[in-house]
Amino acid sequence: MTQPLTAQVVIVGSGVAGALVAYRLAQAGVDVLVLEAGPVVDRAEALQRYRKAVAKTPESPYPETFYAPRPTVLALEDYYVQEGPTLFKSTYERIVGGTTWHWLGTTLRHLPADLRIGTRYGVAVDWPIAYEDLEPWYLEAEREMGVAGNSKESLGSPRSGDFPMPGLPPTYLDKQVSLAAEQLGLSVQVTPQARNSQAFDERPPCCGNASCVPICPIKAKYDATVHVRKAEALGARFVDRAVVTFVDVSPDGYVTGVRFKRPDGSEQRAEGTVFVLAANAIETAKLLLMSRTDALPNGVANSSDQVGRNLMDHPVQLSFALARDPLYPYRSPLENAGIEDFRDGTFRSDHSAFRMAIGEDGWSFPGTTPITLAGQLIDNGLRGEELIAQMNAHVSRQFRFANLMEQLPDPENRIEPAFDQLDSFGVPRPRIHYRLGEFVERGMARAREVSEAIFRQMGAYDIQHGQAHEGAGHLMGTYRMGNEPRGSVVNYEQRAHAHPNLFLLGSGVFPTAGTANPTLTLAALALWAANTIRRDLAAVAQVQGAAHDTP
């Protein structure tokens, strides 16, 4: 094994959490090393790869590598070892910048009630923090990422300051849905988004390419490479194509290093004072469980047996229809507004809360893209101007709701390393046990009822409701935070209960899912953790300085 790399802080993962922590610590003069399993991505090359791809999936712009394989929506069992009873359908990227390359950009805050559903509704558990603790960090995260939103609309989450940019305007489609929703006592509100509504942070405003998933061609949408570059400019070191395979722990419980492999098969070690695992809720949990020793037979940070358990998503129930008159989708971000009326209420004792995102991408999410539709019409004999007229008439009237369901933590929903089924680089694949549960299924039934009512109010037809769920890409819960080490993995600081110099970041720390897309919350928590780590390092330096000065 070659000479180890050293730094004050070693971070595993270069997504939002890892990149933000690296940036904030580098600002404070801390020596930071970031290890990323995947490669650096060139946006222009990725865009060309996307344009040439036959299947325009979330993964299509990004390189497949043998050393950092990842799940794909077209092959959910090639990387995941799915052991049911339900397929886990959410995927992610292993590249510099992480999955924010193809995230939607939605940056809703959790509601105060989301952190107290155990107390309020008698289901699941409370978080060890309150909304008031998190709120100033939400504000910091919105400023760092560049969130566009209406500062006069709290959306149920009280604010202590304004968004850095005004919100994007509602689309014509949003307005037409709003007219119908109002007749039913519901309201459509523009969604806060980490997407420029005006020039911000040396990036241009959104121009409505409608390809946020899988790639923003002009970089109006925030992704973690923004803070990767900022951290590098301040001296942080990023090592790509470094697949971390093991976490080393000393007899006194301190992490001493992480081992990683390079694509050529060589192995190396990184050593530091503080360690941050920020891969994602599946890869971080898998790494902890892979790091088994005689002293830690259940893996690192797993004395509670909670690592890998309580895997959650926001299962998506799709409903879609054709409007009587054109709504003109594909002229904005893929989702620009939504109906938030069902995110909280006493019904959460019985079934999922949910939010209704209004789709601006026609029927692409349900699987009927314009290219697919063209093929169907050609098969039906249409050609030339008749084909164009039918395409325009159909696509211009397509719209859909993506109903994102709250999922409760279930210890049987879990990820484990498949030691008996290795990936192409010789690393255990993620073995997943997953089911939706009746709580979600009852919520999905309610979401279909509400969607149907809005469609009928609009006079829409060809109404269809997906009976199976789709993945939201929101991996949560597998190393949750809590006050009691017996039932959680990290404390409110995101510090591992059993390992004082190990921080686990990302939405894996979420005790419950709520209905807000997780990225803003995990970013806020990451900034909070960066502040804690900086304070810890300052305290260590002070103690070392005092010892050095003692005669």
Q: Can you list the positions of beta strands (E) in 287-427? A: 316-322, 335-339, 354-359, 398-405, 414-422
The answer to whether 79 touches 91, Cβ cutoff 8 Å, is no
Strands across the sheet containing 5-6? 5-6, 267-271, 255-261, 243-249
Token pair listed for 14 = 């270069």
AA letter at 95 = I
CA distance linking residue 206 with residue 33, whole number of Å: 33
CB atoms within 10 A of CB 131: 18
The residue written with tokens 């070892």 in the block is 81
Token pair listed for 529 = 């953790």
Catalytic residue flag (residue 394) = no
The answer to whether 47 touches 217, Cβ cutoff 8 Å, is yes
Q: What does DSSP say about strands 188-190 and 354-359: parallel, antiparallel, or unpaired?
A: unpaired
CA distance linking residue 146 with residue 223, whole number of Å: 10
**List 102, 227, 433, 474, catalytic entry:** 474
Pick left, alpha or beta for residue 155 (phi over 0 → left; psi -120 to 50 → alpha; otherwise beta).
Answer: left
The residue written with tokens 């109002």 in the block is 182
The secondary structure of residue 91, as a DSSP letter, is: -
CA angle 533, 537, 543 (to 5 degrees): 145
Token pair listed for 362 = 């026609």
Token pair listed for 45 = 């090359």
User: Mapping DSSP to helix (H, G, I), strand (E, B) and coil, where does residue 288 land?
Assistant: helix
Partners of 320 in the beta sheet? 400, 464
AA letter at 122 = G
CA distance linking residue 514 with residue 373, whole number of Å: 35
CA distance linking residue 312 with residue 141, whole number of Å: 23
Query: Which are the contacts of 514, defined by CB distance < 8 A and separation ≥ 6?
Result: 110, 111, 114, 117, 343, 353, 406
- Total residue length of the chain: 551
Active-site residues, by number, are 474
